[in-house]
Amino acid sequence: MPAKPGAPARGAPARELILDAAERLFARRGFAATTIKQIAAAAGVNSALLYYYFRDKAAVYHAVLERRVQALVRGAVERLEAAGPPAARLRSFLEFQAETLASHPHLWPLMLRELVDHSARHVVGQLHLVNTAVFRRICALVEEGQRSGAFRAELDPRFAAISCVALILHFFTARPVVGVFLGYTTDGPPEDVIRAYARHAADLALAALAGPRPVPAGPRRKAARP
């Protein structure tokens, strides 16, 4: 179908500018308090151009959520299905999770608003995608580690997967508090500290999955004479 006269080319940067601006505003103000005019102004475009790409505010909101969630899923699947032992793949995934949330600082606040304000009803489809493509793969990865003896056999893989993911998500949920506690501001710690925490979280998760290591036996001592 030919483009409308005067319409921007398909895939023009304007669409991404609109989504970036909408993501910031929805994360800060919420869906209800954000208007089309505010999104257009923040993106540096007029409302008519915004309506060229999206039929209404709800369509913008769904596009914002879909863009980020699908990118997260693609990166997660790539790391969870890479070659290597389960521990290395899980570490790679957790570090990718932290890097993604650090690189897109409005993503997790936006998701939290969706969970609190709308009980996740706008992201039900995306949650099913995350469940099928990511969560089940993490569970399968834990099971693979259990079969090989690398991970504790008594753990419920579902609970282990939730616990691993939560180590990263809680850090970003409490980012202002973490920033103050670590001596920074409520903007949170800098990226090098976030990367260091991601490594720590992976170490902690893998240590919990592996369980306590046996204490190596020391040299045998002679019994004391009475």
Hey, where are the domains in the chain? 58-210
pLDDT digits (tens, 9 = 90+) for 149-190: 999 999 999 999 999 999 999 999 999 999 999 999 999 999
**Does the domain made of 58-210 have the CATH classification 1.10.357.10?**
yes
Q: Across residues 62-78, what is the average pLDDT?
A: 95
Average pLDDT of the segment spanning 28-52: 95
Examine the pLDDT at 217 and tell me if it is beyond 70: no
pLDDT grade for 8, boundaries at 50, 70 and 90: very low
The per-residue pLDDT of the chain, averaged, comes to 90
pTM for the structure as a whole: 0.85
Size (the chain), residues: 226
100: Cα within 13 Å, side-chain hemisphere: 20
Q: What is the pLDDT of residues 118-135, one digit of tens each?
A: 999 999 999 999 999 999
Q: What is the pLDDT of residues 102-122, one digit of tens each?
A: 999 999 999 999 999 999 999
Q: Which residues contact 127 (CB under 8 A, 6 or more apart)?
A: 120
Helix spans in the chain (H)? 13-29, 36-43, 47-53, 57-80, 86-103, 107-118, 124-130, 136-148, 157-173, 175-181, 191-210
- Among residues 172, 198, 74, 171, the alpha carbon closest in space to that of 130 is found at 74
